[in-house]
Amino acid sequence: MGKVAVGAAVVCAAAVCAAAALVVRHRIKSSGKWARALSILTEFEEKCGTPSSKLKQVADAMTVEMHAGLASEGGSKLKMIISYVDNLPTGDEKGLFYALDLGGTNFRVLRVHLGGKESRIVKQEFEEVSIPPHLMTGSSDELFDYIASALAKFVATESDSQHVSPGRQRELGFTFSFPVRQTSISSGTLIKWTKGFAVEDTVGQDVVGELTKAIERAGLDMRVAALVNDTVGTLAGGRYNNPDVAAAVILGTGTNAAYVERAHAIPKWHGLLPKSGEMVINMEWGNFRSSHLPLTEYDQALDAGSLNPGEQIFEKMISGMYLGEIVRRVLCKMAEEAAIFGDAVPPKLKIPFILRTPHTSAMHHDTSPDLKVVATKLKDILEISNTSLKLRKLIVEVCDIVATRGARLSAAGIVGILKKLGRDTVKDGEKQKSAVALDGGLYEHYTKFRTCMENTLWELLGEEASENIAVEHSMDGSGIGAALLAASHSQYIEVEEP
């Protein structure tokens, strides 16, 4: 072999060796990056851990905070608001009742015909109306006149068989999903607007008074019988269908809970004790916090960058508004420190709240062998393509960790309420049944979240107590629930009683 050939062979061999070394280095580098991604996942999973022992501490802390919130105003992170609802529906209610559900840029008007114990809800109708943007920042009269005129038009569509009895006013339940200081069953002053509303002259006013004046201006003979929030409405709807319902929980974009308390167990209540001996408490449980909550660096960063830092910590860990965002933050860290999506962090992944809980739920529920749904969501939402199956599996694991923690903490919160009511254990020979009414998109549509929450509830209560506790889906508390509360707080109830 000539010198040239030898030289060429040496160069060739060197090139092959260099290429091989490069491949090995790349493998070591990529395996190092993958190891980093796995260590981020493992650390996150550990920090999100919710063993039974921790959940029992969370439940106990919830009960303690409930006591503190009932003892005095401002005594706890839990507001424990007195709702003034002291008569929940029984199923005996009869007649035609209306509801107005105002909670965002759309509102609904509903008509519900109740037929008593035998026929229950005979008929229900509703209409949805959107609020023109200029009315969301205009005057109070303009906003409420617009609502009242839509209500009047809806009332005009009553059929001949659906009129209220002669000489009686129509009665309405008003669900108003904004911060209100409630002063009676049918009055409450607006503390502040949220969700894009800025009708300044309503702040500090009684919202029922504002609506009533507008109803009168529209020439309608209608009385607002109850001012409620959607969680209290969910409790009313649950109780109407099942007298064992003692609490209601909403797990949706946000989260809240309400329950039936013994009136004498509310030290901050200074009025006359209601005849029923009961009072519905709106907990505003999203604001619960405790040192036992498994908070991570991602939760702390999310909270710090939110519109209400330090507030609604429980909500930020368990509700639909935030689960997708927590997943995004974990993936972002993996992209930065372990280059799971290549050398650059995908620009879309840096956008807060771009990954919504319905997206992470769809990925979490992907049963296809190649995780096709995960691949599609990554491409459509984050513009990330060509992911490996190994990486898609990792992403599903992140979704699972976030949803599992949220579901298990929700269950611990429910156990805290049952504990406060003394329903978390079986007393000697006592077989008192209790039911919890649940509603909200997260509970309704995120199957793995719902299943995990219910299984955790039974795990924490134990076999014996679980037999006496039921979980039920109570639909449309903000609509039908409000109409039912108008019925149970009707001015004509006394007239009908023998």
Report the catalytic residues.
Answer: 108, 177, 230
The whole-angstrom separation of Cα 346 and Cα 362 is 21
Evaluate whether 232 touches 85 at the Cβ level (below 8 Å): yes
The whole-angstrom separation of Cα 409 and Cα 100 is 33
Bridge-based pairing state of the strands 222-228 and 170-176 = parallel
For the residues of 467-486, what is the DSSP string, one character each?
A: TTEEEEE---IIIIIHHHHH
Distance of CA 96 to the CA centre of its chain: 30
Evaluate whether 81 touches 172 at the Cβ level (below 8 Å): no
Tokens of 149: 């005129």
Q: What is the DSSP letter of 164?
A: P
**Contacting residues for 89 by C-beta, under 8 A, at least 6 apart:** 236, 239, 240, 484, 485, 487, 488
For the residues of 274-309, what is the DSSP string, one character each?
A: PTTSEEEEE--GGG---TTS---HHHHHHHHTSSST
In the chain, count H helices and then E strands. 16, 13
- Torsions phi, psi for 279 (to 5 deg): -145, 130
The whole-angstrom separation of Cα 324 and Cα 363 is 11
Tokens of 165: 């009895």
